[in-house]
Amino acid sequence: MRFVLLGLAGAGKGTQAQLLAHRLGVPCVTSGDLFRSHQGLGTDLGLLAKSYMERGELVPDQVTISMVLERLGEEDCRDGFILDGFPRNLEQAVALEQALGEESVEWALYIEVEEDELANRLSGRVSCRQCGMPYQRDALPSDPATRCPSCGGELYQRLDDQPEVVRQRLQVQRPGLTQLLEHYTDHGKLVKINGEQSVGDVENEMLEALARYTAIS
């Protein structure tokens, strides 16, 4: 089981990646979380990534590719993984195929959401410092919501989810996404999912699509 989740920031990749990983019993590898964890640990890589992330720009490919490939080389990824946030452009997709082979990705699930809706979602999003799970502030059970309903970690608004950075991130991500949609369509691996539904309905659509295309039931 090796899947890639595609979509612009705020499409619901992080939420769905975690739900799917839990459901299918494979790890979810999230490039943004790997960078945030490096920052938390104060590594050189974390420091380098910080300046790009704060501006809503992509971290250079070489650094990103080696960080993700290193993670995919760990034991728990041997039987499969769900990639969230990587690849972000054609160069990264090609590097993944060169490192792990043509079949390194079975399906690329594209969560499709309109850009205005994404900007709204990102501005109202809070994330858990501990497990990385994103939430819509308004949909959380308690107000003010300060703790993650899933693991109890502290909830915070990411710097790059602040409105002035959000549009910039979406603009930066669009060309890479277009390349990837073409690439995975050409390889017969693209599956489109309607992301403008409830979290549960998006999850169901993904599971149905995977059941249709793979042996998962």
- Under the binding rule (CB under 6 A), the answer on residue 20 touching ligand AMP is no
Nearer to ligand AMP, 24 or 87 (CB): 87
Structure tokens at 24: 């299918």
Among 200, 14, 162, 187, CA closest to 104 = 187
Number of neighbours of residue 87 by Cβ within 10 angstroms = 27
**Residue 206 and residue 204: Cα distance in Å, rounded?**
5
Task: Return d(Cα 44, Cα 65) in angstroms, integer.
Answer: 16
Q: Binding segment for ligand AMP among 49-57, 103-111, 112-120, 179-187 (CB under 6 A)?
A: 49-57
38 lies in the binding site for ligand AMP (CB under 6 A): no
Report the first-to-last Cα separation within the chain, whole angstroms: 13
For ligand AMP, the closer CB: 86 or 107: 86
Q: Is 124 in the site for ligand AMP (CB under 6 A)?
A: no
Q: State the catalytic residue, choosing from 2, 36, 71, 125.
A: 125
Can 121 be counted among the known catalytic residues? no
* By CB under 6 A, residue 206 contacts ligand AMP: no
The dihedral sign for the CA sequence 215, 187, 68, 127: negative
Q: Which is nearer to ligand AMP, 151 or 211 (CB)?
A: 151
Nearest C-alpha neighbor of 112 from the set 187, 183, 16: 16
Residue 86 in contact with ligand AMP, rule: CB under 6 A: yes
Please choose, out of 39-47, 48-56, 72-80, 178-186, the segment that lies near ligand AMP by the rule CB under 6 A: 48-56
Report d(CA 78, CA 80) in Å as an integer: 6
Which member of 7, 12, 32, 195 binds ligand AMP (CB under 6 A)?
Answer: 32
Phi, psi of 135 (to 5 degrees): -140, 155
Part in contact with ligand AMP (CB under 6 A); list of ranges 15-23, 54-62, 199-207, 209-217: 54-62
> Which is closer to ligand AMP, CB of 117 or CB of 208?
117
**Token pair in block for residue 51:** 């300046």
The yes-or-no answer on residue 13 being catalytic is: yes
The one catalytic residue among 2, 36, 71, 88: 88
Catalytic residues: 13, 88, 125, 158, 169
